[in-house]
Structure 1
Amino acid sequence: MNKKRILSAVFAFFSFVAFAQEGAETAVSAQEVKLSYIDSLKTTFIHNEELACMDSLWVKELTNKDLFATMQEDIQNIDPDEEVDYNLSTALLKERLAKLDAVSPFHIEYSKGLENIIKSYLKNRPKSFSRLMALSEYYFPLFEEYLAKYDVPMEIKYLAVIESALNPRAKSRVGATGLWQFMYPTGKQFNLEVNSYVDERCDPIQATEAACQYLSSLYNIFGDWDLVLASYNAGPGNVNKAIRRSGNRKNYWNIRPKLPRETRGYVPAFLATMYVYEYASEHGITANKAPMTYFETDTVMVKRQMSFKQVADLLDVPMEQLQLLNPIYKLDVIPYTTEKPHYLRLPKDKIGLFTSNEKGIYAYIDYEADQREKPHFVIEREEALAQTKIMDGKKIITTTKTYKVRRGDNLGAIANKNDVSVTELRKWNGLRGNMIRVGQNLKIKVETIVDIPPMPKVEAIAEIKPKEVKKEKLKPLKAAIIKPIIPVDEGIVIDEDEVIEDTEIAEEEAETLEVATDTHKDNKFKDFDYEKEHLYIVQKGDSLFSIAKKHPGVTVENLKNWNKIKGESIKPGMKLKVVVN
């Protein structure tokens, strides 16, 4: 019994030790986890959890392009004269169509062709209509608002179903684009902008408003909503031709044989779609309820160009959802211009997340832009701009201040706060990555432009006539070159006899000089030419070319020869010898 107790105690002890070691290893490994810049930034975000995001499967359904192809195929190829076997009596159908006609401005009259199309949809496309009805939960509230604003019949919302299958990025074989399938000239007529980044025909709000305006103008021409539908598809010119060829008749069903082939099936497809939507439950067609409508989203104006990928990474929003909410942006990039604002549409809960953390988001955008490789001419332009910092009578003083890292800080936010780049912060502090810790001191360089004190003027030396002088030889002596100690700032050109170094005594054998001594106490020397040598301290943004330009008569080759430089590379802080005549 005692042996068992001892064995149990030993086992428990070693289990405890093993568990403790495992816990220690876990703690160590937890400390070693390194966060990327974006992950460290997101840990500082303020969250607002009022609303839930759209279900990812439903988002994929919204962006599915299959329905558009199916709907287009039906309109182009459906045969109204083809009998369809489906359990719907003609009498019941006539009764239901009469009810729809009583509350609609459209002429919904029974015909055998319309019956065949309705039965074809109910028999062959029940799943497609179930999916379309789910999409309608999202878009129809928006459509109804603008239809009411322009006094357009509410039934026109079904027009977007047969035009685009409610796909805002739908594009037909002839180039019609968006929910309402605007051709380029018609879009321009209603001020829908199209450029390399933006296609406003794909914007649900702007395109819906333009469609309402266009439909209203067509109604002003024809005064009949059936003919408005026909002209929306075929163009008002073709409808007018069909009216003339039909003996000036103006009922759609009377002019239908004279219309283009596609338009002959267009209005029946619209009426059949209306019937299926209105009587879906009677035929067992149901739609999943949308988790949000268009009105449960909102927009924020962007202050930088940003990509959908950046937004997706920062806000944890699926790319498909961003594409659905922002179909206007062709390249999945939101441009930024001062002339016209651009907006990002997000679910309302993500709007709060964006606006609460705007500074950090833009700091990350700037950081990524700073990481991109720049073309050579951009670098040269930035160097030229850097040179404009030094003006006549001015100089730049660079000082270093210390910033103590606080909880919640990240390199991007610190860089943004101090008007420097993340790359500079890493360079100044010897950081390989973006990791920083609370309490760490970071060096930040600050440039200040100050006035340069004027150089003392050298008085002109008067020329005197030569007189008799007594010549004598002087013995060799040790020449002393004394360099006074004065403060030096980066980027300042300093004469060599004024360079800040330790005081030096250069011993060298002096030449034997013939010195003219004169009893005349005002004896002076004539002016003479000489070469002046000084040191230039390389500052940030300098290149050999820009330094040579600062010194008239100096070339890049001169600088390379004087300083024994083989390539073109120089670094801030280097001292270059410059000789000026």
Structure 2
Amino acid sequence: MKIRQTALTIASFFALQLSAQQLPGGGQIVKNEPKLTYLDSIKATFVKDHMAACVDSLWLQELTSLDLYDNLTEDIKTINLDQKVEYELSTALFKERLKKLDEKSPFNIEYNPGLENIVKAWLKNRKNSFERLMAISEYYFPMFEEALARQNVPLEIKYLAVVESALNPKAVSRVGATGLWQFMYQTGKQYNLHIDSYVDERSDPLKASDAAAQYMANMYKIFGDWDLVLASYNSGPGNVAKAIRRSGGQQNYWNIRKYLPNETAGYVPAFLATMYIYEYHKEHGIVPERALVKHFATDTVMVKRQLSFKQLSDLLDIPVAQLKMLNPSFNKNVVPYYFDKTHFLRLPQDKIALFTSNEDKIYAYAAYEETLREKPYSQLASARRSNDSLYEDSTRVVSRTKYHKVRRGDNLSEIAARYDVSIAQIKKWNRLKNNKAPLGKSLKIVTTETIAYRAKKKEPKQPVEDKTTAVAVDLKAAKEATKKLANSTPEAKNDVAESSTPEYYVVEAGDNLYGIARKFNVSVKDIKGWNNFDDDDLLAGTRIKILKDDQEPAVADNEPTYKTVEYTIKKGDFLGLVAKKNHVTLEQLREWNNLEDNNVVIGQKIIVNKIEVTEAVASKGKNDKVSKGKNNNHYYVQKGDSLFSIAKKYPGITVSDIKRWNGIKNENIKPGMKLKING
């Protein structure tokens, strides 16, 4: 052992030396840090609880294994009470111990050879099984005893769960009986155990124990004998009543046993044998294994939104197997959220503190993961499709005014190519005297675009006063209107300052784009554009560029404006729920409201939608609404682009199409390359 430790120490020393080696040019090898994810940033803000978890993988395997259930069930089915078993247990001693059990139990425990044979068989062949069962009992028996005591049912009935399911809440019999107490579907419903796709309360230790205790109490009111209650639990009260009639009215279990179904005939002896072995395990050399977690070492918390076991495992660092063991009633490894019913999650006590201290962040992470799922078409689109017979598809050519803010490195040639116009047109629209692009100025660009629209069939257009309508003209008329617009466009007011002041910010652990944008009073979109970011993930230590204008550009008369929709936070709301109600994403809500996190308070007003309203001057002096569109004729390759990612931006277009239109033979493309998109 000492040699091994010494070798590990030497290996670690050399590894540290290698990690600090100098490069030939004097530089040092820098180890790439892993990229931070949203999960990492959430967990970095958790309030930590340093108590150690008390359940390990072996114990979880023990609590969820079905081998004990299979073996014990097979023993009960094939039991032969008349077969004598040789074991070191005298009949006189066995009778004496049974008499002591009978004195402190409401059951009629009397000696008979069949009971002696099954006890000796299990002591001879199932010692190891009972050592394991006694360890699991330490977790479940306190629950059983509490439920039985509430209904004034003998506490010894807790041993019945050992016979029924071998203390496995996921046990399912060949006829569909489920859970620790093996309830059938109809019986479970009768005793208010909820069963659906997500939840099966027959596997819930607490609720199923309450139902079993209630069943025992009801059956005792009928039969008045606890042995017959046990028989009715296995075969049903109807079969017990038939056996009583067939025996001539006898009401002792051992007298009517031969009239009961075969499985029930060995059921009560198996129960009494289990009780004997539990009570006298020390005398027979059975050493119980110790439970690593007990019922009182766990607690429950009410769940306020749907959470999966995978999400809880990632956030709380708790194995999924442990969550399944503690919460066996949840079928799909999901804790559901119903508007009319509450669900409770059982966790070890040290994890309860971690959950309750960071509950809002856990729900925020679940809401974030929900936004990543593919969404169906909106209800509005569905309604439009359902009325296809009332509409016809068509296209129109419209003129549209855009603004391009000149940044460092821009020139008129590239700007003209990007918007598919000429340099002369840009100079004319903006009254430029030379070909130099003025840094920081917003250049006016007038384009013509073909857009699709839907119109009602066979209905004449009705004039609408004081409302904007879409301009529908053919291509030739659109070009003439574009020239008129260019000639009549006034110069933009209040040009921006000639230069922009760059700043740099070093990303720290826990930072995100929304917080940085709010800190510098800029938008997330601008930060992505300045630094060529493709996504929202940031790596700690990254140096990002922030451009802050000395003077903001004035908004032209027909520059796009926005109409906002506000929502007031109510009791029970959280940001993910608000986003879902308004069919937007969490990122949009945070950006529109400059939120650094997902925390909101009751009464707070937040923007839940922004509707862009663009107006342009059209022919005949009327204000016509110009539909928003996208110029899909060309695409300029950005840093990090690939042919596959570009093709995904244009539905219906493949990588092969882009290669054919641009004469590309391989996958190599470079930033700044202009690609023709003919789709």
* Cross-structure match for 1:494: 615
The amino acid across from 1:488 in the alignment is P
CA contact (8 A) 1:494 1:536 kept: no
C-alpha distance 117-22 of structure 1, shift in aligned 2 (>3 A): same
Deviation at 1:43, TM superposition (A): 2.5
**d(CA) in 2 for partners of 1:169, 1:105:** 30
Superposition map of 1:234-383 within 5 A: 234-376=235-377, 380=381
SS at match of 2:248: coil
* Cross-structure match for 1:434: 537
C-alpha distance 373-222 of structure 1, shift in aligned 2 (>3 A): same
Matching of residue 22 in structure 1 with residue 9 in structure 2? no
C-alpha distance 567-364 of structure 1, shift in aligned 2 (>3 A): closer
SS at match of 1:329: coil
* Cross-structure match for 2:101: 100
* Cross-structure match for 2:598: none
Deviation at 1:488, TM superposition (A): 3.3
**d(CA) in 2 for partners of 1:425, 1:199:** 50
SS at match of 1:45: coil
Q: Which runs of 5+ in 2 are unaligned?
A: 1-12, 386-465, 468-502, 547-554, 563-611, 631-649, 654-679
C-alpha distance 149-276 of structure 1, shift in aligned 2 (>3 A): same
* Greater radius of gyration (CA): 1
CA contact (8 A) 1:411 1:436 kept: no
Deviation at 1:492, TM superposition (A): 0.9
Deviation at 1:62, TM superposition (A): 0.5
**d(CA) in 2 for partners of 1:425, 1:101:** 83
* Cross-structure match for 2:182: 181
The amino acid across from 2:288 in the alignment is A
CA contact (8 A) 1:298 1:347 kept: yes
**d(CA) in 2 for partners of 1:331, 1:75:** 31
* Cross-structure match for 1:535: 626
CA deviation profile, 1:461-497 (whole Å, cap 9, x unmatched): xxxxxxxxxxxxxxxxxxxxxx974553151131325
**d(CA) in 2 for partners of 1:496, 1:222:** 92
**d(CA) in 1 for partners of 2:341, 2:146:** 26
Matching of residue 134 in structure 1 with residue 135 in structure 2? yes
C-alpha distance 127-567 of structure 1, shift in aligned 2 (>3 A): closer
CA deviation profile, 1:121-180 (whole Å, cap 9, x unmatched): 101111111111010011011111111111111100000000010001110000100000
SS at match of 1:256: helix
Deviation at 1:93, TM superposition (A): 0.6
SS at match of 1:32: coil
C-alpha distance 161-333 of structure 1, shift in aligned 2 (>3 A): same
CA deviation profile, 1:382-404 (whole Å, cap 9, x unmatched): 999xxxxxxx99xxxxxxxx9x9
CA deviation profile, 1:333-386 (whole Å, cap 9, x unmatched): 1111211111211101101111111222122212211112223457947999xx
SS at match of 2:193: coil
The amino acid across from 2:537 in the alignment is N
Aligned length: 441
SS at match of 1:54: coil
CA deviation profile, 1:477-533 (whole Å, cap 9, x unmatched): xxxxxx9745531511313259xxxxxxxxxxxxxxxxxxxxxxxxxxxxxx99875
* Cross-structure match for 1:210: 211
The amino acid across from 1:95 in the alignment is E
SS at match of 1:299: strand
SS at match of 1:343: strand
**d(CA) in 1 for partners of 2:120, 2:526:** 70
* Cross-structure match for 1:553: none
* Cross-structure match for 2:510: 409
The amino acid across from 2:364 in the alignment is A
**d(CA) in 2 for partners of 1:442, 1:383:** 44
**d(CA) in 2 for partners of 1:112, 1:311:** 53
* Cross-structure match for 1:90: 91
The amino acid across from 2:297 in the alignment is E
**d(CA) in 2 for partners of 1:70, 1:339:** 41
The amino acid across from 2:343 in the alignment is H
**d(CA) in 2 for partners of 1:370, 1:185:** 39
SS at match of 2:324: helix
CA contact (8 A) 2:21 2:28 kept: yes
The amino acid across from 1:489 in the alignment is T
CA contact (8 A) 1:405 1:442 kept: no
**d(CA) in 2 for partners of 1:177, 1:126:** 26
CA deviation profile, 1:558-578 (whole Å, cap 9, x unmatched): xxxxxxxx9799xxxxxxxxx
The amino acid across from 1:496 in the alignment is V
* Cross-structure match for 2:123: 122
**d(CA) in 1 for partners of 2:514, 2:116:** 65
CA contact (8 A) 1:314 1:361 kept: yes
**d(CA) in 2 for partners of 1:118, 1:163:** 17
CA contact (8 A) 1:142 1:295 kept: no
C-alpha distance 316-379 of structure 1, shift in aligned 2 (>3 A): farther
TM-score using structure 1 length: 0.68
TM-score using structure 2 length: 0.59
Matching of residue 57 in structure 1 with residue 160 in structure 2? no
Matching of residue 195 in structure 1 with residue 286 in structure 2? no
CA contact (8 A) 1:364 1:412 kept: no
SS at match of 1:298: strand
Deviation at 1:70, TM superposition (A): 1.0
CA contact (8 A) 2:559 2:615 kept: no
C-alpha distance 530-434 of structure 1, shift in aligned 2 (>3 A): closer
CA contact (8 A) 1:226 1:267 kept: yes
**d(CA) in 2 for partners of 1:174, 1:186:** 13
